[in-house]
Amino acid sequence: MELQTNKYKIVNINTAAPRKPQANILIVYTGGTFGMVTDSKGSFVSFNFNEIIRKFPSLRNLELKITVISFPQPIDSSDVNTENLIDIAYIIHENYQQYDGFVVLHGTDTMAYSASAISFLLDGLNKPVIFTGAQLPIGAIRTDARANLITALEIASAKVDGKPVVPEVCVYFDYLLIRGNRVKKVRSSQFAAFESENYPILAKAGISLDYNMLSIKPHEPDVELKYFDKLDDNVAILKIFPGITQRFVEHFFKLPGLKGVIMETYGSGNAPTEDWFLNLIKEACDQNIIIFNVTQCNKGKVVQGRYRTSRKLAELGVLSGRDITTEAAITKLMYLLGNEPDVDSVKEKLVINLRGEMES
């Protein structure tokens, strides 16, 4: 694919001048609450990144050379689509050699989906890609935007012995650094919006940044970055609930072009055992519709066969997502369907750990 760079707004900032910058960082601004400021009429408008030093004078302490690439029109994160995700990955891929790290400014509502998707689209990543944003706009008095951005930039530029400290896709928010394909948004009205229940926190920010090096992906100097530019959106999420009807499930699986389903089940992977339900699951599997079993619980994992209710699903061909999040599961399925040659290959890779998104 080819990105129409003339449509993107590019701003260059040197926070170290006149000294030599310690690192070269690319910020990708997609939109979201972070970049909103009030104009003279009291309306929210997009932040002008030419004014970033005035708004964030403490950035000078980081001594960075920063380039900001802004989407032509800032996107509310609830409007993010597969093309936007591919654009983000492409921008990082095309600029990979020029920068030491990357920060993606993104709305919080779908940040977990986007961070997961980018982790799959960029294989062999060996530099930091740090997603961050804010619960309050940058122009608000009590905004969390300043602390989130400054710390995300610090993480993106952090090196030890010339190697990046965090060479993977992450989300930094409210003092916590979390693996991008392990994160979930769990709160809508607090600064502590994100958690990672099934994988350790990668770092905590206090007086200093305390990195959990044992949980961070190791740097792999000999691995080359591979960029994938396809996400297949012929997927859907089926959430199991008490009272789910045969008519609903029948219509669900008749969705034209449907190739894969994330099935959100109870507890450790349990679902109804009524004949009509199991028959519909069998019919879907026989038609090569991939069904990936993910728990509705924030913490824990699917263990198909632990109870009788999930044993039958495994026998019918439903695949276990173990401890993967729904956000990582749906984007992983889209990535594999878009880039693997056949259904068997998709199934094979869906159940194994590719980017640290699930237990090995």
Secondary structure class of 25 (helix, strand, coil): strand
Please write the tens of the pLDDT for every residue from 13-26: 888 778 889 999 99
Active site residue: 5, 15, 30, 33, which one?
A: 33
Residue 183 in 3-state DSSP? coil
Last residue of a domain, one of 179, 197, 227: 227
Same domain, 208 and 94: yes
pLDDT interval class at 177 (50, 70, 90)? very high
Q: Which long-range contacts (CB under 8 A, 24 or more apart) does 327-330 make?
A: 327/112, 327/113, 327/116, 327/181, 327/183, 327/184, 328/116, 328/119, 328/181, 328/182, 328/357, 328/358, 329/262, 329/292, 329/294, 330/113, 330/235, 330/237, 330/262
Q: Are 139 and 285 within one domain?
A: no
* Co-location of 328 and 205 in the same domain: no
CB of 163 within 8 A of CB of 100? no
What is the average pLDDT across 296-314? 89
**pLDDT tens profile 187-219:** 988 888 899 999 999 999 999 999 999 999 999
In a domain, 356, yes or no: no
Does residue 57 belong to any structural domain of this protein?
yes
Domain of residue 255, residue span = 235-350
Tens of pLDDT along 122-138?
A: 999 999 999 999 988 77
What's the mean pLDDT when you consider all of the chain?
92
- 255 domain residue, yes or no: yes
Same domain flag for 257 and 209 = no
30 is catalytic: no
CATH number of 275's domain = 3.40.50.40
Instruction: State phi, psi for 305 to the nearest 5 degrees.
Output: 110, -10
Taking only the tens place, the pLDDT of each residue in 47-72 is: 777 777 777 788 888 889 999 999 98
Domain count, the chain: 2
CB 145 within 8 A of CB 152: no
Structural domain ending residue among the three candidates 202, 227, 252: 227
Each residue of 312-336: pLDDT tens digit?
A: 999 999 999 999 999 999 999 999 9
CA angle 87, 91, 96 (to 5 degrees): 145
At 176, is the pLDDT very low, low, confident or very high (cuts 50, 70, 90)?
A: very high
Of 175, 202, 227, which closes a domain? 227
